[in-house]
Chains A and B, each alone.
Chain A
Amino acid sequence: DAKTTQPNSMESNEEEPVHLPCNHSTISGTDYIHWYRQLPSQGPEYVIHGLTSNVNNRMASLAIAEDRKSSTLILHRATLRDAAVYYCILSWETSGSRLTFGEGTQLTVNP
């Protein structure tokens, strides 16, 4: 699996935007970029995914660098409920293939 690198922790204030970076310099052309988050004592939750173009959904935006060696998850207005561990994951296009969780970013949101 291609490796991703994320900061161990980040802090934000409520209602401010949050930019969570992820480096994946060994990404291959067929790797998708996924973001999941895990709140305490809960299962991981899908946030967003993309291949080459920037993506938006109701939860977040995903900005992918032109060379695809890095990406940024953007939470437009952080809430206390967004405090979680955020995982950036690469995977290939095969039904049933694994998602490998590495060391994500612990996001703290201050009131």
Chain B
Amino acid sequence: AAGVIQSPRHLIKEKRETATLKCYPIPRHDTVYWYQQGPGQDPQFLISFYEKMQSDKGSIPDRFSAQQFSDYHSELNMSSLELGDSALYFCASSLAGGRAAGELFFGEGSRLTVL
């Protein structure tokens, strides 16, 4: 079965550079979530989109922005990168229907290293 696809899987950037992460949800899933997981930490919610509209916003820095496109894929744009942005970034997708619909499907993550 198709899963959530994230690209790139690994990314190395210098401080103050920009980075873009892409997420392709499972076909027919209309909701996308972004999470950040630092070394030894639990996943932290950044932002989510439902039907191409922002549906919830967490601890996403102002330097970051995201959007969901007409084909439901999503991109997370990160500017003025800092050392502390080094982390695993997970994307997840789900079907509409709220929590009763159940599960989020997570991708394998994109590992960003800022030097």
Contacts and interface: CB of A to CB of B under 8 A. Distances in A.
Interface in A71-101: 85, 87, 91-101
Contacts of B100: 32, 51, 93
Interface residues of A, number: 27
A94 B104 CA distance: 13
B33 A46 contact: no
A44 B56 contact: no
A35 to B, nearest CB: 10
B102 A49 contact: yes
A99 B45 contact: yes
The DSSP consensus for interface residues of chain A is loop
Nearest to B3: A43
Contacts of A44: 43, 90, 92, 104, 106
B98 A94 contact: yes
B90 A104 contact: no
A57 B31 CA distance: 24
Interface of B: 4, 31, 33, 35, 42-45, 48-50, 55-56, 58, 90, 92, 96-100, 102-109
26 contacts: A32-B99, A34-B99, A43-B108, A43-B109, A45-B106, A46-B102, A46-B105, A49-B103, A51-B100, A87-B42, A92-B99, A94-B55, A94-B56, A94-B99, A95-B55, A96-B31, A96-B49, A97-B55, A98-B33, A98-B45, A98-B48, A98-B56, A99-B104, A100-B45, A101-B35, A101-B44
